[in-house]
Amino acid sequence: MKGIFPVEKFKSKDTPFYYYDTELLRRTLHDINKEAGRYEGFNVHYAVKANANPKLLRIISSAGLGADCVSGGEIEAAINAGFPASKIVYAGVGKSDREINLGLDNDIFCFNVESLAELEVINELAGNRNKTARVALRINPNVGAHTHANITTGLAENKFGIAMGDMEGVIEKASEMKNVKFVGLHFHIGSQILDMGDFEALCNRINELQKRLECSNINVENINVGGGLGIDYEHPNRVPVPDFKAYFSTYARHLKLRQGQSLHFELGRSVVGQCGSLITRVLYIKQGTAKRFAIVDAGMTDLIRPALYQAYHKIENISSDGAVATYDVVGPICESSDVFVKAYDMNESRRGDFLAIRSAGAYGEIMASQYNCRRLPVGYMAEDL
Ligand code: LLP
């Protein structure tokens, strides 16, 4: 056992694979419930897109969280894992008829509607089933987040949500439709946000919008502020990570909830990010003309974040305590971007050593692909090894 990893148990396994520290996940869930539980009407949904491994989903649903889904497949995964449909919210700019019907048949908590065109389709499909769909409008708050451009979502230029200027008009239209019921507003400004000031800016924007709606006598049952709380990729072992206390208290202090209103969160990365590591074996050490490469058996097909977002993941050699050497850690895929990290100092590595690529629990396994006809990585729970 080196650090938190049962290296002996890894020896009989094919690599690469994801390893989930389920004790850490349970501690994280406990923290979330404790910190959100301080405030009345706070409800946390887990954003299934971050990781839909069925065993992880079971642990998360058992902790009492709801689910935030972005496709019919995620709704099915959530229901199979025991999330009650009454705690499922469903967002997404391109919901297909089949997916909307699935949401209707399961009586999910609400559809987060992203356009008037979608609202009309939901009304029609609900009408076909003699049902009333609960809908929240996803509003694009035009609030920037200090994060990677590919993962900000709340700017006017992004494809997500309904423009603020259209809000009252769409609510008015919803009130004229027979088979939808307007129940709330939904927002999401981006992901991997570490500056609480960004969430505060969202609160201020929501306060403004709520005032506007009050002037038009429009009642809002619930507010959903999306997710986005970031984690510390530099220090995967630091606790408490992330700071749920600061996160929930920011909303408690800055968002003016009305009597009886409930507040919903959709957290993904902060729930599962730190509990997962991608475990890989070193295949070859190669001295190039200018650099030394550690070639490993995991690639961008297993964890695409470094290639896609230049994301940093800490890498540890968990087999060796040797002197430190500098490597580019690269995978076997035939793409130059198949690099986990460049010019990186880690313990001197040899063929067969295990490396742990840390903080990979969120947007890791779920974004894996079979490019180059590779096998999808499996995920092991600590207690199953
Ligand atoms: N709610 C909505 C509407 C979202 O679009 C997202 C994430 C979340 C909640 C959850 O956000 P979180 O708490 O995980 O930040 N693949 C990227 C991240 C994409 C996030 C997409 N939306 C990455 O690997 O960094």
pLDDT class of 156 with cuts at 50, 70, 90: low
Give the model's pLDDT for residue 48.
Answer: 98
Q: pLDDT band for position 1 (50/70/90)? A: very low
The ipTM of this complex is 0.99
Pocket of ligand 1 (CB under 6 A): 47, 49-50, 68, 91, 151, 153, 188, 191-192, 226-229, 266-270, 305, 309, 362-363
Q: Whose CA is nearest to atom 5 of ligand 1?
A: 188
For residue 246, count other CB atoms closer than 10 A to its CB. Answer: 13
Residue 269's pLDDT band, with cuts at 50, 70 and 90, is: very high
How far apart are the C-alpha atoms of 45 and 35, rounded to whole Å? 14
Helices (H), 41-115: 54-62, 72-80, 97-105
Question: Is there a binding annotation on residue 299?
Answer: no
Confidence of residue 152 (pLDDT cuts 50, 70, 90): low
Query: What six digits make up the tokens of 73?
Result: 């497949």
Ligand 1 nearest atom to the CA of residue 363, by list position: 24
What are the angstrom distances between the C-alpha of 267 and each of 65, 135, 193, 249, 314? 10, 20, 11, 15, 22
Which pLDDT belongs to residue 195? Answer: 95
CA of 286: how far to CAs of 24, 168, 291, 292, 369, in Å? 36, 62, 8, 6, 26
Average pLDDT, the chain: 95
Joined tokens for residue 227: 């997710």
Summarised one tens digit per residue, pLDDT across range 35-61 is: 999 999 999 999 999 999 999 999 999
Q: Is the dihedral of CA 325, 329, 332, 336 positive or negative?
A: negative
Structural domains of the chain, with CATH = 7-17+274-384 (2.40.37.10), 22-271 (3.20.20.10)
State the pLDDT at residue 308.
96
Do the annotations mark residue 124 as ligand-binding? Answer: no
The share of the chain scoring above pLDDT 90, in percent, equals 90
- pLDDT score at 245: 97
Per-residue pLDDT tens digits for 205-230: 999 999 999 999 998 999 999 999 99
pLDDT tens across 160-202, in order?
889 999 999 999 999 999 999 999 999 999 999 999 999 999 9
Q: Best substitution site from 143, 191, 199, 266 to test ligand 1's pocket, by max atoms within 8 Å of Cβ?
A: 191
* Residue to probe by mutation, ligand 1, list 43, 48, 49, most atoms within 8 Å of CB: 49
Average pLDDT over residues 332-352: 97
What pLDDT does residue 6 have?
Answer: 96
